[in-house]
A and B are shown apart, each in its own frame.
Chain A
Amino acid sequence: MRGLILLTPPVGAFIGIYVAALVALFVSAFWTLDPFTSAVVHQWTLANFDTLIHDPTYRDIALRTIGIAAAVTVTDALLAFPFAYFAARLAPRRLQAVLFVLVLLPLWSSYLVRVYAWRLILARDGVLNWTLGKLGLGHIGVAYSNWAMWIVFSYIWLPFMILPIWASLQRVPDSYLEASSDLGAKSWRTFRTVLLPLVLPGVIAGSIFTFSLTLGDYITPILVGNTDFIGNVVYRNVGVSNNVPFAAAFATVPVIVMGVYLAIARRLGAFEAL
């Protein structure tokens, strides 16, 4: 009984803040807008979802958002794994501390500053093309494209992939790997059948971060891209045309995608690595 009383404030806050916001989102998704006065009409309707399903524009935007989020996740996993492996298992103690700080260092500066920095790097007369020009490689036009978004997102969310992989690599006892090699397994086989299954939950945990953070972002697409993410459409509908019901309806899409993703991640044991 006393436990119940002690738990009441945090549980109340959780329901009042977290759950209530989500419920408000779902409820208003079924309202609509009066076309003349632009006031919200509190009448249940499926009109918003009908538009979402039948207008190919929104399907394209949703697929682009999910596609880039997936690409960023894969890229970050491929970049983070070798780094984390070196840092967790090969580097001497002292170097480990230095690497740890280096991974976290970008997080100390503002997200906006880093995105603007990339805008300058990728611009037509920017650092990247200047370097390529000096090397005699001509120039590439990636500024303000989906490629630019992919590069910038991969950079920005990389630490969130490195840290969980690092943690789960550290947790693998050396004796497992020694046992594997004692039993005659070559290093590739040890990696594939011993190390990878043990670290996979860490990779999945990292992917939850990179995937969901990319899925919900709308600032990077404005600054370095030239196409809309789900977040941009939501932002325009709330901040510009005041169509909160439609924004709410579109905002349920990433919630559902993340729900499915988390269900799969749970199956793969990612929550034990968090």
Chain B
Amino acid sequence: MNRARKRYLLWTAVVVLTGALAFAGAGCGGGGKKSSKGKSNLPSSIGKGEGVLNLVAWEGYTDPSWVKPFQQQTGCKVHSKFAGSSDEMVTLMRQGGGSQYDMVSASGDASLRLIRGHIVKPVNVDLIPGWKDFIPQLKSPSHNTVDGKHYGISLQWGPNTLLFNTQKVKPAPTSWSAIYEPTYKGQITVPDNAIQIADAALYLSKTQPDLGIKDPYELTKAQLDAAAKLLKQQKPLIKKYWALASDEIDLFKNGDAVIGASWPYQTNTLKADGVPVKDLIPKEGATGWADTWMLSAKAKHPNCAYLWLKYISTPKVQAMQALSFGETPANLKACPFMNKIQKGGCAQYHANAPASYFNSIKFWKTPIADCGNGKNDCMDYTAWQQKWTQIKG
């Protein structure tokens, strides 16, 4: 074969392949557009378990101490896949056409994306006895209930806290300014997550009121730019943007970080390891999460899923998870069980706190263009993610 002919053959192969792939791609696109709306047929009773339940969850949400009894009671073997961020949860639930996992413990910044993407389907709350005892704000919250349909059952909630080393950080901080000012330069850590922009926006809503930020998740372009500017100024102060909770635990253990934005889970773990840390909600308030167990629209094991919803909403299991992770249960009847497991546990995690405490937390939600003023001038989550990449540079 001469050289010219070889070259000709190679290019033919490339062109043919390109064409074939483009066609295949276009074909997939056409097929995927099929609307899957249809009537939602809610089950009226829970059938026999299918023997398996595949979950996407936050680390620490499927602890053996409450998963094992569930498996024994129902015969549903639980497989859990841990996700590090809300974005990852959405991606995992999309995988394999959406039938790979049955349920997801989605936070408010993922739940609406899952609902709008038709990845999850409504559930019948009448089959979940624990639901009636939920704190009223979490029975039909806007992050999991759309048009009166319940896309899942609320689980637990809590604030994102300011964590610090009590020996290195003196006096104890009272404001989020501690992580935006250079006092602890090179010893600060914050999550590597675009939703962290909301923390900056919340801080700005108190320190620069003329920006007019009312809701840290509904930002106009100017407001988003202001938050990004603050975070860019913060960047040289940061030791590390943490990706996993265990990263932050390492940073505090090894002395690389002395202060940072955190979850109560890290505080509990570090305290158990004897590291002198404390966390608090600074005076500007805090962002937080309210999680929901949601059911995949194509779940292969719906009965096990309903059994899980029923089980995880009972006061005792709610209390176990709350104390293990360091968060507040949705079920108000969990309070005495928390005190039984750990003295003063109910008050420590605010399970008996008045509604004003709940309302003081700005819960994670998905930023969308429509922020309720009819102008669609808010920045959506894609814009937030691009900003976050620019901030980290």
Contacts and interface: CB of A to CB of B under 8 A. Distances in A.
B206 interface: no
Interface stretch (A17-25, A100-108, A165-173, A194-202): A17-25
Contacts of B390: 55, 57
Contact of A125 (B32, B255, B385, B393): B255
Interface string B369-384: 0000000000010100
Interface of B: 13-14, 17-18, 21-22, 25-26, 29, 32, 85, 87-88, 90-91, 94, 113, 116-117, 186, 238-241, 243, 250, 254-256, 380, 382, 385, 389-390, 392-393
Contact of B238 (A40, A141, A226): A226
Interface string A15-58: 10001100110111001010101111110000000000001010
A15 B13 contact: yes
A37 B254 CA distance: 43
B25 A42 contact: yes
Contact of B21 (A27, A143, A242): A27
A240 B26 contact: no
A222 B254 contact: no
Q: Which label, helix, strand, loop or mixed, suits the secondary structure of the B interface?
A: helix
Give the top 8 A-B pairs by smallest Cβ distance, nearest first: A123-B254, A240-B87, A125-B255, A144-B240, A124-B255, A57-B390, A124-B256, A42-B29
B18 A23 contact: yes
A38 B385 CA distance: 13
Interface residues of A, number: 41
Nearest to A28: B25
Contacts of B91: 239-240, 242
Nearest to B18: A23
A11 to B, nearest CB: 10
A33 B383 CA distance: 13
Interface of A: 15, 19-20, 23-24, 26-28, 31, 33, 35, 37-42, 55, 57, 60-61, 119-120, 123-126, 141, 143-144, 222, 226-228, 233, 236, 239-243
B12 to A, nearest CB: 11
Contact of A240 (B13, B88, B238): B88
A239 B81 CA distance: 14
Given A15-B17, A23-B17, A28-B25, A239 B241 contact: no
Contacts of B90: 242
Given A57-B393, A124-B256, A126-B254, A241 B382 contact: yes
A144 B256 contact: yes
A124 B186 CA distance: 11
Contacts of A24: 21
20 contacts: A19-B14, A23-B18, A27-B18, A27-B21, A27-B22, A27-B25, A31-B25, A33-B382, A42-B22, A123-B250, A123-B256, A125-B254, A143-B254, A144-B240, A222-B243, A226-B240, A227-B393, A236-B385, A239-B91, A243-B382
A243 to B, nearest CB: 8
A98 to B, nearest CB: 35
Contacts of A23: 14, 17-18, 21
